[in-house]
Amino acid sequence: MPRRIIKMRVEDVAIQAANRTTEAGAVTGFVGWLASVNWIGWAGVLIALGGLLANLYYQRRRDKRERAEHEARMRAIEQRCER
């Protein structure tokens, strides 16, 4: 059976990595809170914030790219309608 090859863009991989980083930070913060170890809790919060910021950055790039693609498609459709 042939293998299915999944093509992913670098930005998609980065978004997934940012999501996993945010989740890891949240878990680390929760474990630190349960264990009453302050530095673990703060480390978890910082990791979660880093993941969130990375996620926001790549999501904005993705939205900008999709908006440009949409506008290009709409221009192409309008040009076909004018003919």
Whether pLDDT at 70 is above 90: yes
Helices marked H in 1-83 — which ranges? 10-35, 38-82
Is 5 part of a structural domain of the chain? Answer: no
The per-residue pLDDT for 18 is 76
Is 53 part of a structural domain of the chain? Answer: yes
Is 21 part of a structural domain of the chain? Answer: yes
Domain around 78: 10-82
Is 72 part of a structural domain of the chain? Answer: yes
The per-residue pLDDT for 2 is 54
Is 39 part of a structural domain of the chain? Answer: yes
Q: What is the pLDDT of residues 1-55, one digit of tens each?
A: 556 556 667 667 777 777 788 788 778 877 877 777 777 777 777 888 888 888 8
**Structural domain count, the chain:** 1
Is 35 part of a structural domain of the chain? Answer: yes
Residue 66 corresponds to which tokens in the numbers above? 């999709």
The per-residue pLDDT for 8 is 62
The per-residue pLDDT for 71 is 93
Q: What is the pTM of this model?
A: 0.54
Is 3 part of a structural domain of the chain? Answer: no
